[in-house]
Amino acid sequence: MSTELSQPAEDPSAATILVVDDESYVRTIICRWLSEGGYRSAQAGSAAAALEYLQQHEVELVTLDISLPGRSGADVLPEIKQRWPDTEVVVLTALGEAKLAIEMFTRGAYAYLVKPVDPGDMLFRVKKGLERRRLVLENRRYTRDLEDKVRKQTATIRRAHEETILRLVNASRYRDEETGAHIKRTGLYSECFAQVLGWPADQVENIRMAAPMHDVGKIGIPDAILQKPGKLTRDEFEIIKTHTTIGAKMLAGSESAMLQMAHDIALGHHERWDGKGYPQGLAQSAIPEAARIVALVDVYDALTHDRIYQAALPENEALAIMEEGRGSHFDPFLFAIFFSLLPQMRRIAAENPDQPVQDYARRQRLPVPLSSSSLEAAESPAAV
């Protein structure tokens, strides 16, 4: 049994002390001392009664006798500390062995007092135990609040960082056929890929922000070529291809993991699985995985949305074209994942539709036939 004593009238917020001892007169004396010290108290005559009380009430500190009927105090002490780690425990015992005292401290006791206990000494230990508990809780709250502030500040910084990046990307897209929605979709598609691949959360976030920068190098391509309404000559197409190295140079040398990924994507998103891409002719796993992902989602989005040089294709036709590039143009493993992600990608596309841009109306749309050459057309303005 356990019986809660009356709360001291002068301090409604007084701490609750649970007195655990098999001797009722000892419990009564200790409770009287605690009441005179300004604390609330409750009694338990066994380990089982103590655990029952702790389950049902908030207790700041326990005075625990070692010699109890059934489970001993030494046995129940670790359970108390495991289940209620913020509850301090002061051990009271008639056994004054140093070895036992060390064992009790090892099991989580805050203090160890030998009976007969001096009331002043006991109240001092209780006071110090409660002070330690308060400091631990305050430090935990401070740490939690600090972590929350850091998370919010980090989120604010990342949003500002992302806005800066998007403004940089927009500077290049205003000179090209890209739309802001395409740029955003590319990042969201890539984020889905990274999540399915089990990337760490920070890298998933990085590719969402880095993928939209894949064509940032087009800012360095002359308008006469970039905005040419008809087909490009072979020489002009070679110049277009340099947007990969221009973008990589713009993004090189940063200590930011996100910008390092953006560098790899800008440089490698036109590489091919079979090594016949550009600018370096890399093949298979030599191409950074982030660039292989963007190569897929960029083509998918280009084929299924209106571009200045081509009208959108029905998705089944776009997928048929892309299927021809499995294992040659695209990483076959990522291609299989791509098909499993189509429902999410359709949802992203529906939530981020293109907005018509009047400036682009002057450029003639060129129909694209259903063939593997459409893959190249999807990656750049139509070339001879």
Catalytic choice (81, 184, 218, 241): 218
The three-state secondary structure class of 92 is strand
What DSSP character marks residue 88? E
Looking at residue 58, which CATH number applies to its domain? 3.40.50.2300
Looking at residue 311, which CATH number applies to its domain? 1.10.3210.10
List pLDDT tens digits, range 243-286.
999 999 988 988 888 889 999 999 999 999 999 999 999 999 99
By percentage, how much of the chain surpasses pLDDT 90? Answer: 58
* pLDDT tier at 384, thresholds 50, 70, 90: very low
Residue 349 has pLDDT above 50, yes or no: yes
276 is catalytic: no
For residue 109, being part of any structural domain is answered with: yes
Q: Which domain holds residue 26?
A: 16-143
Whether residues 182 and 252 fall in one domain: yes
pLDDT at 172: 58
Q: Which of 123, 143, 163 is the last residue of a domain?
A: 143
Whether residues 78 and 126 fall in one domain: yes
> CB–CB of 81/56 below 8 Å?
no
List pLDDT tens digits, range 64-121.
999 898 899 999 999 999 999 999 999 988 887 888 888 899 999 999 999 888 999 9
Predicted TM-score (pTM) of the model is 0.59
pLDDT at 174: 56
Percent helix, percent strand, percent coil in the chain, to nearest 5? 60, 10, 35
Whether residues 184 and 249 fall in one domain: yes
- 354 versus 54: the higher-pLDDT residue is 54
Nearest by Cα to 229 from 379, 380, 365: 365
For residue 165, being part of any structural domain is answered with: no
The CA distance from 70 to 290, in Å, is: 63
* pLDDT tier at 155, thresholds 50, 70, 90: confident
Residue 45 has pLDDT above 90, yes or no: yes
List pLDDT tens digits, range 282-308.
999 999 999 999 999 999 998 998 776
pLDDT at 159: 73
Integer CA distances (angstroms), 292 to 285, 299, 318, in order: 9, 11, 18
Ranking 2-6, 31-35, 252-256 by mean pLDDT, the lowest is 2-6
